[in-house]
C-alpha cells in the first residue's frame, strides 16, 4: 500500500470595489505538523470577490501539486483538504450548489482539473480562521496598487496566522516533516532557488488571469436568484465540467498588465471603498397596512411573509458570496432578518444603535390617514420642514440624519475596504442614499423602498460616495 501525503490548503481572495482591484492568497500546510510549506499570492487586476476567491483556490491546489509532482505515480498518494471562508466556493466545489454564473464555471473547472476530485475535500471556516490567506490576498492587492509584484520574501502574512495544531491520524510527524522538507528542497532546486525561503509564488504561466480589458461584471446584477421555497442552490457535479472548459480556460494565456485607462478609470486611486449593502427588514404585520412603525412604540416581529423574505435574501447573499460583515439595527424585525442571513453565511451580527428607525412619537402604529385626521397641522409641518418632529416627542428628520451620519462615519472607518450588509429601516436607508447624493431632505419622500429590498452605496477615502443600487427586489421573485 503506497504512502499517503496529506496537505491542507487555505485560500482567499478579495476585490476592492467588487468588481475592483483584486488579488488572491493561498497557503499550503503540512497536515501532520501544521508547518507552512508554501505561499502564493498575486494581484489579478479588475475582478470580483468570487473570481479572486476561485483564483486563490486554483493557486493553492497548483502549489500543493507542485510540492509533490510525482504523487500517485512513483510518489505517495496526495490528499488535500481545502479550507476557505467563501461558502460559495466551498459549496460549489463540493457539488452541493449549482454553478450558475458564467464567469465561475471555467474557474471551477480549472480548479477541479488540477488534482483528481477524489483526492480533494472542502471545508468552510470562519474568516477569523483564514487570516493567513486573507493577509496574503491583501498584500497582493497592496502590491498591485503600488505597481509592483508581490514577493514572498517580503511577506508578513504568516505572522497573522492562527496557531495550528497537527490534524489527527495524519501519520508520524517526524516522517511527514522530513518528507515536506525534501519536497521543498526539490521544488526550490527546480525553480533555481534555495530551500531557505520555503515560500514561493505559483508560476504565472500556470495561473492565467482573465483579460484585464474585460472586467467581470458585478455579481448583484448577473446572479440568478434562488427559486421560491428552496433553501440552497441546486447541486451540480463540478468534475463533470472539468474537460473542455478547463482546456479553454488554460488556453486564455498568462496574466497581462492592465491596459492604460481613460476617463473616470484614470482618476487617482482613492483607496478601497467601504461598500454598504442596505437591506430593509422583512415585512411585519404593520407593513402591508402602511402604519408608522418606528423605534418609539412596539417592536413587532417578522410576519410569515417577512420570514420568507428574509430567507430569500439570505439565499441571494449566499449565492453572491460578497458579504463580509453584517451590522443590524437593534430592533427585532431587523435582528430577525439579519439572523437569517448570518446563519446562512456563517457570520456574526453586530448591533449599531445608529441604524434604528425614527421615533415617530404619538404616530406610532397609526396609518398616514389616521395621523392626518388626528394631528393634521403637525403632519403638514413635518412634511414641509425636516427640523419638525412628529407629535409627542418623536425625532425630526434632521435629528435622524445626524444620528445616521454618525453611524455611517463610524462604520466606514471600521470596515474600510470591506463589503458590509447593513440591515435597517426605511428612514436610515433613505437618509444614507440622499446624503450620498447630496440631495435635500425632501428627496426622501420621492424614494420607494419595499420590504426586504436591497440598495447599495460605496464610500471612498476622499469622503465621496457612489449610489450603486436602489430598491432592488429581484431576489424576492
Single out the catalytic residue among 281, 316, 425, 475.
281
Residue found by looking up cell 457539488 in the block: 95
Alpha helix segments (H runs only) across 146-243:
173-190
Is residue 172 packed enough to be buried (19+ CB in 10 Å), middle (13-18) or exposed (0-12)?
A: exposed
Asked if 281 is an active-site residue, the reply is yes
Give me Rg for the CA atoms of the chain. 25
Cα(383)–Cα(386) distance, integer angstroms: 7
Residue found by looking up cell 447624493 in the block: 437
Strand partners, 47: 20
8 Å CB contact between 27 and 200: no
Asked if 224 is an active-site residue, the reply is no
Half-sphere exposure of residue 213: CA atoms within 13 angstroms, side-chain side: 4
Residue found by looking up cell 462615519 in the block: 409
Cα 398 from chain centre: 33
164 is in an annotated binding site: no
Cα 384 from chain centre: 41
Q: CB under 8 Å, gap of 24 or more: what pairs does 258-265 form?
A: 258/45, 258/46, 258/212, 258/213, 259/212, 259/213
Cα(118)–Cα(458) distance, integer angstroms: 42
Q: Please enumerate in sequence order all residues whose Cβ is within 8 A of that of 190, keeping only pairs 6 or more positions apart, or say none.
A: none
Residue found by looking up cell 434604528 in the block: 356
Single out the catalytic residue among 42, 53, 357, 395.
357
Residue 98's nearest CA partner among 246, 241, 308 is 241
Q: Kindly write down the DSSP assignment for every residue of 232-283, as one continuous string.
A: SPPP--GGGGSSHHHHHHHTT-S--PPPPP-GGGGS----PPEEEEEEEPPP
Residue 264's CB is within 10 A of a number of other CB atoms, namely 6
Cα(387)–Cα(357) distance, integer angstroms: 17
Give the strand pairing for 454-459 and 20-30: unpaired
Residue 129's CB is within 10 A of a number of other CB atoms, namely 16
Which residues are documented as binding site? 333
Which residues are documented as binding site for substrate? 333
Active site residues: 281, 357
Amino acid at each position: 500500500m503506497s504512502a499517503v501525503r496529506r496537505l491542507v490548503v487555505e485560500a482567499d481572495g478579495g476585490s476592492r470595489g467588487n468588481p475592483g482591484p483584486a488579488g488572491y492568497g493561498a497557503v499550503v500546510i503540512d497536515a501532520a505538523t501544521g508547518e507552512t510549506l508554501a505561499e502564493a499570492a498575486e494581484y489579478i487586476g479588475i475582478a470580483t470577490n468570487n473570481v479572486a476567491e476561485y483564483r486563490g483556490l486554483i493557486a493553492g491546489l497548483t502549489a500543493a501539486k507542485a510540492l509533490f509532482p510525482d504523487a500517485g505515480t512513483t510518489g505517495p498518494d496526495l490528499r488535500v483538504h481545502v479550507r476557505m471562508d467563501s461558502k460559495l466556493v466551498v459549496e460549489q466545489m463540493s457539488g452541493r450548489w449549482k454553478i450558475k454564473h458564467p464567469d465561475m464555471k471555467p474557474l471551477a473547472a480549472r480548479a477541479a482539473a488540477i488534482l483528481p476530485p477524489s483526492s480533494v475535500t472542502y471545508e468552510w471556516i470562519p474568516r477569523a480562521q483564514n487570516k493567513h490567506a486573507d493577509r496574503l490576498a491583501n498584500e497582493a492587492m497592496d502590491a498591485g496598487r503600488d505597481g509592483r509584484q508581490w514577493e514572498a520574501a517580503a511577506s508578513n502574512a504568516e505572522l497573522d496566522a492562527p496557531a495550528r495544531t497537527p490534524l489527527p491520524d495524519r501519520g508520524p510527524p517526524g516522517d511527514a516533516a522530513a518528507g515536506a522538507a525534501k519536497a521543498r528542497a526539490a521544488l526550490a532546486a527546480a525553480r533555481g532557488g534555495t530551500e531557505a525561503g520555503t515560500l514561493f509564488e505559483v508560476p504565472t504561466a500556470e495561473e492565467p488571469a482573465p483579460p484585464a480589458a474585460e472586467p467581470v461584471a458585478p455579481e448583484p446584477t448577473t446572479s440568478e436568484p434562488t427559486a421560491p421555497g428552496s433553501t440552497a442552490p441546486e447541486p451540480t457535479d463540478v468534475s463533470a465540467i472539468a474537460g473542455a472548459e478547463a482546456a479553454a480556460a488554460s488556453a486564455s494565456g498568462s496574466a497581462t498588465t492592465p491596459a492604460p485607462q481613460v476617463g473616470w478609470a484614470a482618476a487617482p486611486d482613492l483607496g478601497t471603498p467601504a461598500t454598504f449593502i442596505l437591506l430593509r427588514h422583512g415585512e411585519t404585520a404593520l407593513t402591508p397596512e402602511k402604519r408608522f412603525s418606528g423605534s418609539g412604540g412596539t417592536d413587532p416581529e417578522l410576519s410569515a411573509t417577512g420570514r420568507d423574505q428574509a430567507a430569500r435574501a439570505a439565499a441571494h447573499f449566499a449565492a453572491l458570496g460578497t458579504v463580509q460583515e453584517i451590522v443590524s439595527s437593534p430592533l427585532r424585525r431587523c435582528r430577525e432578518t439579519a439572523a437569517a442571513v448570518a446563519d446562512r453565511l456563517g457570520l456574526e451580527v453586530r448591533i449599531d444603535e445608529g441604524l434604528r428607525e425614527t421615533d415617530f412619537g404619538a404616530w406610532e402604529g397609526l396609518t398616514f390617514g389616521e395621523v392626518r385626521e388626528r394631528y393634521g397641522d403637525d403632519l403638514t409641518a413635518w412634511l414641509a420642514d425636516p427640523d419638525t418632529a412628529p407629535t409627542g416627542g418623536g425625532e425630526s428628520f434632521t435629528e435622524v440624519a445626524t444620528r445616521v451620519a454618525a453611524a455611517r462615519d463610524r462604520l466606514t472607518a471600521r470596515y474600510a475596504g470591506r463589503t458590509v450588509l447593513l440591515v435597517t429601516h426605511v428612514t436610515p436607508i433613505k437618509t444614507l442614499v440622499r446624503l450620498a447624493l447630496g440631495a435635500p431632505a425632501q428627496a426622501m419622500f420621492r424614494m420607494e423602498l419595499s420590504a426586504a429590498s436591497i440598495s447599495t452605496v460605496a464610500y471612498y477615502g476622499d469622503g465621496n460616495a457612489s449610489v450603486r443600487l436602489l430598491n432592488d427586489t429581484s431576489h424576492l421573485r
